[in-house]
Amino acid sequence: MKQNPIDIVLEELKFTKTEKEGFMSFVKYAKTCQETGKNQDLKSHLENIVSEIVEKR
C-alpha cells in the first residue's frame, strides 16, 4: 500500500509513536481552527501536546 507522505516525513525525522500522535493531533486541530477561524486555543493545545509527550517518556 502507498505510504502517506506525512508518515514518510515523520519517519525520516525519526518521530516516535507518541510524537507522531501528538504531531497529527496538532495539525488536525490547526486545520479545524483554520476552518472555524477560532485559533485562540491552538497555542494551549500545542503546549498540552508537548507536555504530554514529555510526560510519557
Partner 1 sequence: MKINYIQYHNYRCFDDVKVSFNTDCLQNVALVLGVNGSGKTEMLFSFQWVLYGFDFKNLREKDETPYALNSTLYHQLEVDRHAPSVDCWAELSFTHNGREYFMRRTERFMQLNGKVNSIEKVSFSYTEDNGVRSEPENDKVKVEEMISRIIPKSILEGITFDGERMKKLNIVDDSSKKVIKNVISLVTNERLFELCLGEIKDVNGDINRDRNRINRASGNVTAEELEKEIGELNEKIEDAETGSEGAKRNLEKVETKIKEISQKLAELEEAKRLEQKRKGLEKDLERAEKDFSQGLDSFQKRLVDGYFLATDQLIDDVKESLDTIDVPAGLTVEAVKSIMKRPKCICGCDMNEDVVQRLSMLLSTLPPDNISSNILYMANQFSGEKKRTKDLLNETYKSVQKSKDDVAKIKVELAQISSSLVTSVSETVRELEQERNKLFEQKGVLKEKHEKHIRDFERFNKRLKEAKKELISASGNQEQIKVLIEKGRILDKFKDAIKKIGEQNQALSLVSINQYLSNAYSQLSEDTGRRIYLCQYDSKEKYGLYTYVESRYRDVRVRKINSGEMKTWQDDGLSDNEIHEKLVLQVAEGKSTGQSKINSLAFAKAILEYSNEDRSSDTLKVSHDYPFLIDSPFTELSDDNLINVAQYINTFAHQVVIMADDVSYGWVEKYLKPYVKTKTQLIKDKENGISYVK
Shortest CB 46 distance to partner 1, Å: 5
Cβ burial, residue 22 (10 Å; 0-12/13-18/19+)? buried
Residue 16, classed as helix, strand or coil, is: coil
Shortest CB 56 distance to partner 1, Å: 11
The answer to whether 18 and 49 are in contact (CB under 8 A) is no
Which residues here bind partner 1, judged by CB under 8 A? 5-6, 9-10, 12-13, 15, 19, 22-24, 26-28, 30-31, 33-35, 37, 39, 42-43, 46-47, 50-51, 53-54, 57
